A and B are shown apart, each in its own frame.
Chain A
Amino acid sequence: MTGASLPNRWKLPDLGLGVGLRTQHFRHITEHWPAMDWFEILSENFIDTEGRPLHFLDQIAEHYPIVMHGVCLSVGSTDPVDFGFLDKLAALARRVKAVWLGDHICWTGVAGLNGHDLYPVPYTEEGLRHMISRVRIIQDYLERPLVLENPSTYLTFASSSMPEEEFIARLAVEADCALLLDVNNVYVTCRNHDLDPLAYLDAIPYEHVVQVHLAGHTDNGTHCIDTHDGRVIDEVWQLYGRVHRKTGGRATLLEWDANVPKFPVLQQEVGKAARFRNGTKIVTSAAA
């Protein structure tokens, strides 16, 4: 099922198959050094702390490539850019030799407050200009491309004048930023907004995509919530296969944040991606 190889425009590597690094697995990882191509960390969990998590991260970063993924950069916020926070991100990136770092296409707070959630931006020309300007400022300051993820969204602003996928595509091209395509979020968003996930995927500029996310979600019937609490459903695997055919291979990561299972279950679940990735590394449950 391997498709034609389409490199990303930064020639960032296809890291293979990885999982989100979670505290429950620190000890297992540092005792067994299990087979895993790379780990993604939640940046904010390792900022403003010098406690146990950082102690484990330092060891793990010596053995595996690390990618930083945040939830509080608030790129879409109309508050001023927090350069102090960017300094902290940059320091952590240097410390763990992050292959890349990113966040979400969203805002998390305004007027000095923080909702600790991924709030949708209105898909308007004003919203787009604002995001482009902020991404450029942040990229210039960090001196590296920002890898931004499509979030799961649960509402549509009446003022939106373009579909989400067009907003994301234009943002990526005009701000010249990288994309983290979360195929579970594509599924969830399309379910919540009665959209066609295939049309969504067809609109993405794949030369900007450097990473793919997989995750489970909760289907409430009337809407889906991006809960990261279970296995990836078949429909999402099919979307992943489609992305793989378009790209020929991108660093792929499984997120599992609630009801977190033992590490071998994560290995097994993310390993399912290997069937779409002929010729790439296959994660096994055996210790390295």
Chain B
Amino acid sequence: MNLARAPRLDTLERWMQAVVMHPQGAMPGVRSAPARRLLPQAAVDLDSVVLPSKALSAVERLDIYAHMYYARLLEILVEEYPTTRQILGAEAFERACRRFLARHPSRHRILNRLSERFPAFLARHLPRGPRSGLAVDVARIERAMEEVFDAPRAEPLTAAQFGAIGADAWQRVRLAVIPGLRLLKLRYPANDHMNAVRGKGQPRIPRPRASFAIVYRRGYQVFRRDQEPVQFRLLAALASGATLAAAVRGSVGGRRGNADELAARLGAWFREWAAAGLFSGIERQATGRRRR
């Protein structure tokens, strides 16, 4: 070969990457504008850059890598979004994945971040309608499940630690939530739908109805469940750093009703959250009095 015309290493790597990551395969990749800007001679004479073997042409050899790029990443998305795929259908899901990967190629060494923008991408690019709306909400839950699977470990508060918070301390106490908790306000009953898919296989697409889901990890198992709207608002307020008193006031304060009934509901919610291990710390604020 003519060494004077050998491409520089960085040019060759950028060129090969542009070719094998092209969503239509290696030959469209070789002919693409980014690849032609890097190595124009390859579009005219590919063999001057990649040698054929006895059995395969240069483009067939590049296509091995091009195929593997999409096959490997699609396999991961299929594994991470089984119910989203079931809702959209395998073909529509794969089309959406290919468009996503072309728009958002992986920028991370660790694959668990590959799809962090996938639910938002689906929300922007799927055609409007109940099926798409449900798919987006389910994708948000499935993404949250991936995130909490990998979340940092945290020791949850015990019932005794909860019990030690006296009512008089509510003005000053903040609860820290575990890192493996996600709160999702949804437009569809997505969690119910996922349960139905698990149970029966092919449930009908539901009508839009706001739902409030939490996804969390207890030990090394990932769970998801729905919350009542007020319960969700209260948990969201606590997760955002409000004191117990402020969180309760902000979420249930304006509601009319029996004080005993409210206390009972609050008690039930806190018991549910404590059993789920959603809180990992108690922060007591200073009283705020200044010494003279």
Residues of A within 8 A of B (CB): 44, 47-52, 55, 72, 74, 76-78, 82, 85, 107-117, 119, 121-122, 124, 126-127, 130, 154-159, 161, 192-194, 221-223, 225
Query: Given that A194-B54, A222-B55 are contacting pairs, would A158 and B49 also be in contact in the complex, using a CB cutoff of 8 Å?
Result: yes
Give min CB distance, B215 to chain A, whole Å. 13
A contact residues around B14 at 8 Å (CB): 110-111
| Complexed CA–CA distance, A124 and B21 (Å) | 24
Q: Which of B41-59 contact A (CB under 8 A)?
A: 47-51, 53-56, 58
| Complexed CA–CA distance, A194 and B61 (Å) | 14
User: Is A115's CB under 8 angstroms from B9's CB?
Assistant: no
B contact residues around A77 at 8 Å (CB): 13
Give min CB distance, A258 to chain B, whole Å. 10
A-B contact count (CB 8 A): 132
Give min CB distance, B250 to chain A, whole Å. 32
| Complexed CA–CA distance, A207 and B220 (Å) | 43
Give min CB distance, A280 to chain B, whole Å. 35
A contact residues around B151 at 8 Å (CB): 50-51
A contact residues around B3 at 8 Å (CB): 159, 161
Beyond known contacts A156-B53, A159-B12: 12 more, CB 8 A cutoff: A50-B152, A52-B149, A55-B220, A77-B13, A115-B20, A122-B9, A157-B12, A158-B47, A161-B3, A194-B53, A221-B55, A223-B64
| Complexed CA–CA distance, A77 and B10 (Å) | 8
A contact residues around B143 at 8 Å (CB): none
User: Is A157's CB under 8 angstroms from B55's CB?
Assistant: no
Give min CB distance, A173 to chain B, whole Å. 21
Tell me if B24 is interfacial: C-beta within 8 Å of chain A. no
Most buried by B among A74, A117, A161, A193: A117
Contact partner, B106, options A114, A161, A193, A222, Cβ 8 Å? A114
| Complexed CA–CA distance, A51 and B147 (Å) | 10
Interface of A is mostly: loop
Shortest 10 CB-CB distances between A and B: which pairs? Answer: A222-B55, A159-B6, A52-B220, A78-B10, A72-B109, A155-B61, A49-B150, A154-B64, A110-B13, A156-B51
What residue of chain A has the Cβ atom nearest to residue B18's Cβ? A111
User: Is A155's CB under 8 angstroms from B51's CB?
Assistant: yes
Q: Which of B68-76, B83-91, B160-168, B256-264 contacts A (4 or more CB under 8 A)?
A: B68-76
| Complexed CA–CA distance, A182 and B50 (Å) | 24
User: Is A113's CB under 8 angstroms from B107's CB?
Assistant: yes
User: Is A126's CB under 8 angstroms from B8's CB?
Assistant: yes
User: Is A78's CB under 8 angstroms from B47's CB?
Assistant: no
User: Is B13's CB under 8 angstroms from A116's CB?
Assistant: no
| Complexed CA–CA distance, A126 and B17 (Å) | 19
User: Is B21's CB under 8 angstroms from A115's CB?
Assistant: yes
Query: Given that A154-B64, A155-B58 are contacting pairs, would A122 and B12 also be in contact in the complex, using a CB cutoff of 8 Å?
Result: yes
